[in-house]
Structure 1
Amino acid sequence: MARTRKALRSPWRRRLGLLVKILIGLGVLALGALVIAVYVARSQLPSFEELKSSPNGQMIRVHASDGSVIASLGPSYGEWLTYSRIPTVMRDATVAVEDRRFRSHLGVDPIGIARSVEVRYERGRWIQGGSTITQQLARTVFLSSQKKFGRKFREAILALALERKFSKDQILELYLNKVYYGGGAYGIDAASRKFFGHGADELNLAEAAVIAGLVKAPSNYSPTADADAARGRAGVVIQQMVRNGYVTQLQAEEANPEALKLVQGAQQNSARYFTDWALPQLDTLIDETQAPLEVWTTIDPAMQRQADTAIRANVPGGAQGALVSLDRDGAVRAMVGGTDYVSSIYNRATQAVRQPGSAFKLFVYLAALEAGHKPEDTIVDEPVTIDGWSPRNDSRRNSGNVSLRTAFAYSLNTVAAKLGQEVGFTTIADMARRFGITTPINTHPAMVLGTSDVRLIDMTRAFASVASKGVAIVPYGITRVTANGEVIYQHQADTSRVLVAPYVAAEMTDLLQTAVNTGTGREAQIGRPVAGKTGTTTSLKDGWFLGFSSGLTTGVWMGRDDARPIRGLHGGTAPARAFAAFMRPATAKRPIEQFDTQVTLPEWQIEPDEESYFGQPDNSGQMVDENGNPIAGASTAQPVDPSAPDERPDDDTSRQQLDDLIDRVTGRDGPPRDAPRDPTAGEVVPPGRQPLPAPIRQPLPPVRQPVPVQDDRPTQ
């Protein structure tokens, strides 16, 4: 029996032993290959003096469309400090926060890597890296920052090679003089002079902690961008120094980073919003990472100044504003991401996602027009309920039979809801995606009133595509790039993608003109043909105006970053005024261009609507995927705030003034206020006249100065 068991076990033992031997052999081979790779890399490394003199980064000069230089980006060099001249607190702060086992590891820290993996497993995402100071130096000098396995493997080989060739003191000296500290500053001396106004050899504990804390995230902790974040990060660095025995608790308390005085940086103009958006695109446009670059962009300095002025002059107090202006080929001529770049580098034109309100009706009506509707088609403005959702017009009235032109001009919510139900909410979502909306779009009924979050640049792109007669417009900011005098990139516009038929775009432009001339967008008139649309969200949290004229398409958004309501904010007030303030000078030297369809006035009896919707939307709406299909379990519907105050005046004086305006531009008298209503047609019937069977179609003169009017919308 014993022999039988032994005979049964022996084949498995032999196999296990063979496997162990194979693994050991492979391990020896891998170790040998690693040693060979390290020593080959060591033999190819530059000398210490060569590394000291090598460039720290790539210089980039950014040109505006007129050739002027709007930004010079790249390394800012300070004095090279030898190891003995670097303050001890600076060396200790760096080691404490970046690599506390720097003096003991061989270039790669297995313990740090294991801890990084453990945190990744616990948190579900990478919170901290396992790179040593030596690895960071290898990445800074020889590699890129791409997070790929191949790059990490090469980084580890180079780190081991650096440790074989240079001493720990030399590695730390190279690191502190070459690493990037934000604001274009490379090395501790450049950073010290930029943030504190003196050389790095004079750094105290608090200042050294601020600089050491920048390496983790130079943009987030930069003192020029967020002084509070920089001081808070410095406190974390000092506590790490206490834990590792570099300073005592008493010294840490005396350091007090909160009391640090920072050098105020030069005022940055709003063009930095544009360069922050455009320059990262170089990574996908070119492969050159060493040679100095000349980058030629689309930004127009005069338009940029006009945009900045328009936003600052019209934005409500305590709110933010953003503006994007695209030329007919998609060239970005102006971009404002906020009221002050220095206080906030967050670009609300390209990064912020907010509800567009009735500006989203662009896609509702595009879908309806493509489905066969015409601007003259009539539809009944009446109470409607769809899947438990009952939208109401802002005027809280219904007007019976109206044309689509009138419904769009005065932004009637009930008509938009009925059109959405007819053409299909998924069809509308598909239309929005077709026109460049990149954010998730829900498909519940209230989506027709703009309940899905969007980006300003995407909405502006959509309106620009309508202006280009249905041809897709893609925003771009870089026209060409040169290196050492040679062109290495040249932008090529693509005008081959047609989104809708030209007649659909022309009919949509017809509706957009009417909205500006007599509808909710009258404040956007600039004395030449303009087409556009307002947007206002629930409780007056966001105001939008987007429109085009003379080949220029401009979008404006205003609101608070915390999404709190703003008294009196409507798309037809401050945003429309900012649009006009920008577009008047921006188009002044451009020829006046007529649209394919001249403006047609809507029925005279309908009052403007302010787009804010009331009633509870369906909260079970779903997002859709890239094909417009609903995604199960994903809901993005935003409930309406029923507690929002209703501050819209509804007095007879303002309504009469509006009627007088329409009477003047149509050349006919309006009806008396107490005119009877035709119970079948839903139209107001003046005494002695029959109901109008169709809207009056009366072209306006090619150029019309705006008529001042006080309407029933709340103003600032």
Structure 2
Amino acid sequence: MSGRKTSNRIEPRFDQPSDDKLPSGFFVGEDDRVMPSRAKRTGSGKKQKAAAPRRKSEPSLDSFDSSPRRSAPKSRRSSRKRRGFFGVLRSAAYWGMVMCLWGGIGVVGIVAYYGAKMPAATTWTVPDRPPNVRIVSVSGQLVANRGMTGGEAIGLHEMSPHIPQAVMAIEDRRFYSHFGIDPIGLGRAVVSNLVDRRFGQGGSTLTQQLAKNLFLKPDRTIERKIQELLMAFWLEHKFSKDQILEMYLNRVYFGSGSYGVEAASRRYFGKSARDVSLPEAALLAGLLQAPSRLSPARDPAAADRRAQLVLAAMRDQNRIGENELSVAMNTPAVRAPTYWTGSEHYFADRVMEQLPQLIGEARQDIIVETTVDLVLQTFAEASIRRLIDAEGKKYNVRQGALVSIDGTGAVRAMVGGYDYATSQFDRASEARRQPGSAFKPFVFMAALENGFFPDTLVNDAPVKYGKWAPRNYNDKYFGNVTLTEGLARSLNSVAVQLANRVGPAAVVEAAWRMGIESNLQPNLSIALGTSEVTPLELTASFVPFANGGHKPDIHFVRRVTSSKGEVLYEHRPSVGPRIARADVIGMMNAMMAQTVSDGTARRAAFGWPAAGKTGTTQNARDAWFVGYTANLTTGVWFGNDDGEATKNMTGGSLPAMAWNEFMTAAHEGVPVAQLPGGWNGRVLSDIEDLLRRSPEQSQHTGSVEQPIPPGAVGETVPRGVGSIMDIILGN
């Protein structure tokens, strides 16, 4: 530069007064960097030098000083108070929103966590309802429903309209308007629980309950509840409301072993859910709160009180009118039995035992067509119950059983005890008892097969084998008697002598061949029925006498089909193999017919050609009568489960009387038919053939415990030809 130019530069200084200005019009002072503080006193008590005066336009911080020396105006204090109250509200609202937000985030996180542990929703499927087994009679009438549910599934349009209305009224009044969960109902339940300080209401919808029943265990955990919600949403998306309600009503538990409305209706009212009335529907709906506790089989009064609450809820929601409410409220409480009642359930239980052998495991609803005739079943149950009610105390007897089988082996009726509701033990097919003299026909049959005849004479007298000395009833003996008379009078001496003659092994073989299945001991006491059998097998073993000597195929099931009509099993009826000669069957029928007409079973006679055998065990613990016509073979037993002795009851008393009542009713209107075979006496050539045989040839050896004592067994003919000829000629 050619000339020196004078500089106007101003150097910054910080020791100037605070009002020194910069050329730009700004200034820098102490008050612009730090908060002004109050004047401080020195140690001598004098005030320090005051700071430089501020311009009038600058606000003074002293106006905010809360020192008494400078108080705010009254209006400002009131405004500050108002701002404090609303400030608290604003703060509460703010923090409430924050907490709700974080709570929502937490809930979403928990749901996401437990939802991630579940299988993908695309794999979810509604599990099949456990199969129902519908058991029907020979005429198609319902006998029982069996299976885990105890009843078939029926459509929503099939069941009584009162049922869904009652269930929705008490369980889920907004079922058709919510989306799987009911916020209103849930909120009401929460408030109610808080007020009552107990968990009394759950707020679950029908959809949630169905989800729990279909997929989940009844655990009270957060995880289970969240899974229930997710699955409820899925159900609502996948199915219509009607479908959800139908699935629910067909699967929910109603107490007393009944799942679904059909099973419950059958259990409590003895009719289909199609025919349920309004008060009955209210009772069913009321059970859902506590099925076991409120079951009318356990507490009918509690069930009725709950049903009235349901009815009141239905009226409040205008689901029923005032008149309907009044009529339903005045309906008496249902008094259901503590268990299924009716002797047909013994039959149903037997069918269920055999079903796996016929079709394997049931994987779908099936219909089992059985052989039982419910009319005959009713007759059978009535005869057993009536006699125990009328004569039970007199004879000290509490139980009875009856089995009736036709000539093909089809079981037409079976009563397993006095009352199924109090005891489900089937005495007809499970209880093994000594048959007593009812076993003697097999002894006499073995004798006929070994050369004896109905008019063969045997000396009815006291006998003794080793230390065993069997005695006749009341120690009465009749001397020389025919086999027919010996069987008709049920003479123990004659039966034991015959068993000794033919051998116990021959008796056992004949019994097994005729249908006895139990283990039999081949000793002489077998003649008096000391080996135990069931009423079912003893009755079955008499069927060949009624059908001409053919072994029947004892069966309870005729056919099994699926609900769609597919045949899964079908019994093929057949005559059965011949197991006894026709002439032997004819002779046995002639002999046992004398038991009914003139012997120990005279009370059984009812006008038809009939035959049979009574039986009474030691100390009258068991009393039997097994008899037959050409139409039916029926066995009856009376006794006590604990083996307690009865009061002189015999097979010719209650058993014969029950047999008479049942068979009279069963044969009403049926054309009379004769028993197969027959025997009117032997021709002379038969006698002559018998006379040509030596005594040694007449005595068939077998597995006997001891040689025949002299005179213990009457010979086939009395000593001396003249004596037998006198008998033949009638002299």
TM normalised by structure 1 equals 0.55
1:508 counterpart = 2:588: yes
The separation in 1 between residues aligned to 2:181 and 2:726, in whole angstroms, is: 89
Tell me the equivalent position of 2:492: 413
Note the alpha carbon deviations across 1:111-162, whole angstroms, 9 max, x for none: xxxxxxxxxxxxxxxxxxxxxxxxxxxxx999xxxxxxxxxxxxxxxx9xxx
Tell me the equivalent position of 1:398: 477
Q: CA deviation at 1:498?
A: 2.2
Equivalences for residues 12-31 of structure 1 within 5 A: none
The separation in 2 between residues aligned to 1:472 and 1:691, in whole angstroms, is: 37
Tell me the equivalent position of 2:568: 488
**Relative to 1, partners in 2 of residues 1:193 and 1:352: Cα closer, same or farther, differing over 3 Å?**
closer
**Relative to 1, partners in 2 of residues 1:629 and 1:371: Cα closer, same or farther, differing over 3 Å?**
closer
Counterpart pick for 2:378 among 305, 309, 316: 305
SS of structure 2 residue aligned to 1:333: strand
Counterpart pick for 1:314 among 373, 378, 387: 387
Is the 8 Å Cα contact of residues 254 and 287 (structure 2) preserved in structure 1? no
Tell me the equivalent position of 1:280: 353
Is the 8 Å Cα contact of residues 192 and 199 (structure 1) preserved in structure 2? no
Q: CA deviation at 1:262?
A: 10
Tell me the equivalent position of 1:295: 368
- Output the amino acid matched with 2:385: R
Stretches of structure 1 that go unaligned for 5 or more consecutive residues are 1-42, 88-139, 143-158, 160-165, 212-222, 228-260, 602-627, 631-678, 684-689, 698-716
- Output the amino acid matched with 2:353: P
Note the alpha carbon deviations across 1:300-320, whole angstroms, 9 max, x for none: 121111111111222341421
SS of structure 2 residue aligned to 1:554: strand
Counterpart pick for 1:546 among 626, 631, 635: 626
Q: Would you say how many aligned residue pairs link Structure 1 and Structure 2?
A: 458
Is the 8 Å Cα contact of residues 338 and 346 (structure 1) preserved in structure 2? yes
Is the 8 Å Cα contact of residues 539 and 633 (structure 2) preserved in structure 1? yes
- Output the amino acid matched with 1:54: P
Q: CA deviation at 1:393?
A: 1.0
**Relative to 1, partners in 2 of residues 1:527 and 1:386: Cα closer, same or farther, differing over 3 Å?**
same
1:457 counterpart = 2:517: no
Counterpart pick for 2:601 among 521, 525, 535: 521
Equivalences for residues 306-455 of structure 1 within 5 A: 306-315=379-388, 316-317=391-392, 318-455=397-534
Counterpart pick for 2:615 among 535, 551, 560: 535
Tell me the equivalent position of 1:59: 132
**Relative to 1, partners in 2 of residues 1:511 and 1:55: Cα closer, same or farther, differing over 3 Å?**
same
Counterpart pick for 1:594 among 664, 668, 674: 674
Q: CA deviation at 1:58?
A: 0.8
Tell me the equivalent position of 2:34: none
Is the 8 Å Cα contact of residues 351 and 556 (structure 2) preserved in structure 1? yes
Q: CA deviation at 1:294?
A: 1.7
**Relative to 1, partners in 2 of residues 1:600 and 1:273: Cα closer, same or farther, differing over 3 Å?**
farther
- Output the amino acid matched with 2:582: P
- Output the amino acid matched with 1:559: G
The separation in 2 between residues aligned to 1:46 and 1:419, in whole angstroms, is: 79
> What is the RMSD computed on CA atoms of the aligned residues?
4.8
1:467 counterpart = 2:546: yes
Tell me the equivalent position of 1:624: none
Q: CA deviation at 1:200?
A: 7.6
Note the alpha carbon deviations across 1:201-250, whole angstroms, 9 max, x for none: 7449xx68x99xxxxxxxxxxx969x9xxxxxxxxxxxxxxxxxxxxxxx
The separation in 1 between residues aligned to 2:418 and 2:576, in whole angstroms, is: 37
The separation in 2 between residues aligned to 1:44 and 1:490, in whole angstroms, is: 45
Q: CA deviation at 1:474?
A: 2.6
Tell me the equivalent position of 1:72: 145
The separation in 1 between residues aligned to 2:380 and 2:265, in whole angstroms, is: 35
Tell me the equivalent position of 2:636: 556
The separation in 1 between residues aligned to 2:345 and 2:136, in whole angstroms, is: 12
- Output the amino acid matched with 1:296: E
Q: CA deviation at 1:588?
A: 2.0
The separation in 1 between residues aligned to 2:716 and 2:561, in whole angstroms, is: 66
Tell me the equivalent position of 2:342: 269
Give me the identity figure in percent.
Answer: 34
The separation in 2 between residues aligned to 1:696 and 1:589, in whole angstroms, is: 43
SS of structure 2 residue aligned to 1:62: strand
Is the 8 Å Cα contact of residues 472 and 493 (structure 2) preserved in structure 1? yes
Note the alpha carbon deviations across 1:10-48, whole angstroms, 9 max, x for none: xxxxxxxxxxxxxxxxxxxxxxxxxxxxxxxxx998969
Equivalences for residues 211-226 of structure 1 within 5 A: none
Note the alpha carbon deviations across 1:598-633, whole angstroms, 9 max, x for none: 5779xxxxxxxxxxxxxxxxxxxxxxxxxx999xxx
TM normalised by structure 2 equals 0.54
The separation in 1 between residues aligned to 2:582 and 2:118, in whole angstroms, is: 62
Is the 8 Å Cα contact of residues 138 and 372 (structure 2) preserved in structure 1? yes
**Relative to 1, partners in 2 of residues 1:478 and 1:696: Cα closer, same or farther, differing over 3 Å?**
farther
SS of structure 2 residue aligned to 1:545: strand
Which protein is bigger by CA-based radius of gyration?
2
**Relative to 1, partners in 2 of residues 1:60 and 1:473: Cα closer, same or farther, differing over 3 Å?**
same
**Relative to 1, partners in 2 of residues 1:600 and 1:409: Cα closer, same or farther, differing over 3 Å?**
farther
Q: CA deviation at 1:597?
A: 4.7
The separation in 2 between residues aligned to 1:360 and 1:547, in whole angstroms, is: 12
Stretches of structure 2 that go unaligned for 5 or more consecutive residues are 1-116, 154-163, 173-179, 190-212, 232-247, 269-282, 301-333, 682-701, 705-713
SS of structure 1 residue aligned to 2:511: helix
**Relative to 1, partners in 2 of residues 1:681 and 1:337: Cα closer, same or farther, differing over 3 Å?**
closer
The separation in 1 between residues aligned to 2:253 and 2:375, in whole angstroms, is: 33
**Relative to 1, partners in 2 of residues 1:284 and 1:403: Cα closer, same or farther, differing over 3 Å?**
same
SS of structure 2 residue aligned to 1:185: coil
Q: CA deviation at 1:682?
A: 13
